[in-house]
Chains A and B, each alone.
Chain A
């Protein structure tokens, strides 16, 4: 069979869905929609909250114990200040607070 003839025959050759196909599909999609009600990402909120608590606890610990990391390398004693740790922890704390506030706003909007 020639290529052009084959193309002509196959380009017209589609199967048609049975009459109730679309109705059944709409029903299934509606059922699926009910299943997927948008939920508040509580687990994310809980995760962020626990991370915040952990960071705050670490900061408190560092402040109260005036933490200084000491490394001994080839008889050389190196003392690492807690300032960089504190800066990173404060940055994380701010990011976490920002995230939880955003989540809170989002949850308020979804309730409206």
Chain B
């Protein structure tokens, strides 16, 4: 139920699916070990995503020196046909690439806000950012996502979205 959203969040930070899956497994094990500490004051999803986000940032710190986003997120070769682009699968693929090319905090904030439908207060709890930072990340994230999509697809296809 939560695993795909949690994977998307981990991917926003780590920009690599295999690494994100490993971190997600580690996070689920932490959840299993610490389930007794869960207080039903907050939602389970908020608690789970907080663990996923913290584990991902810790992993990112460890790997930062060896990781390069351009190595992990490949720009697609060639032009995309309009018919292909209308498929949801293809659109998702390009949105994922665009999000992966963006700043980590912005991509994470966008995913939490739109995908997980979290409020700014909940995003604050999960990420540990201040309210102002969340708002800035969302604002910049929206325009940067648009910019990255235009860079990947061109103006014509971006307008089709």
A positions within 8 Å CB-CB of B: 1, 3, 5-7, 9-18, 21-22, 24-25, 28-29, 32, 36
Q: Is the CB of B25 within 8 A of A9?
A: no
Known: A6-B114, A25-B25, A28-B29. A14 touches B7 (CB 8 A): yes
Count of B residues near A, CB < 8 Å?
A: 32
Q: Which residue of A lies closest to B113 (CB)?
A: A10
Mostly helix, strand, loop or mixed at chain B's interface?
Answer: helix
- Pick from A10, A24, A36: contact of B95, CB below 8 A: A10
Q: Which residue of B lies closest to A33 (CB)?
A: B32
Known: A10-B114, A12-B88. A17 touches B24 (CB 8 A): yes
Excluding A15-B17, A29-B32, 13 further A-B contacts by CB distance (< 8 Å) are A6-B145, A9-B95, A10-B111, A11-B117, A13-B92, A13-B99, A15-B8, A15-B96, A16-B4, A16-B7, A18-B21, A25-B28, A28-B25
Q: Which residue of A lies closest to B92 (CB)?
A: A13
Mostly helix, strand, loop or mixed at chain A's interface?
Answer: helix
Using a CB-CB cutoff of 8 Å, which residues 50-95 of chain B contact chain A? 88, 91-92, 95
Is B3 positioned at the interface, with any CB of A under 8 Å from its CB? yes
Closest 8 CB pairs of A and B: A10-B114, A14-B4, A15-B8, A15-B7, A1-B146, A14-B8, A13-B95, A7-B114
Known: A1-B145, A29-B29. A9 touches B21 (CB 8 A): no
Is B161 positioned at the interface, with any CB of A under 8 Å from its CB? yes
Q: How many A-B residue pairs have CB under 8 A?
A: 71
- Pick from B4, B29, B117, B149: contact of A17, CB below 8 A: B4
A13 to B92, CA, bound (A): 6
Is B135 positioned at the interface, with any CB of A under 8 Å from its CB? no
- Pick from A7, A15, A32: contact of B29, CB below 8 A: A32
Using Cβ atoms and an 8 Å threshold, which residues of chain A touch B8? 13-15
Using Cβ atoms and an 8 Å threshold, which residues of chain B touch A12? 88, 92
Is B5 positioned at the interface, with any CB of A under 8 Å from its CB? yes
Is B110 positioned at the interface, with any CB of A under 8 Å from its CB? yes
- Least CB distance from A110 to B in Å reads 16
- Least CB distance from A50 to B in Å reads 28
Q: Is the CB of A15 within 8 A of B33?
A: no
Using Cβ atoms and an 8 Å threshold, which residues of chain B touch A15? 4, 7-8, 11, 17, 20, 96
Using a CB-CB cutoff of 8 Å, which residues 4-31 of chain B contact chain A? 4-5, 7-8, 11, 17, 20-21, 24-25, 28-29
Using Cβ atoms and an 8 Å threshold, which residues of chain B touch A25? 25, 28-29
Q: Is the CB of A29 within 8 A of B28?
A: yes
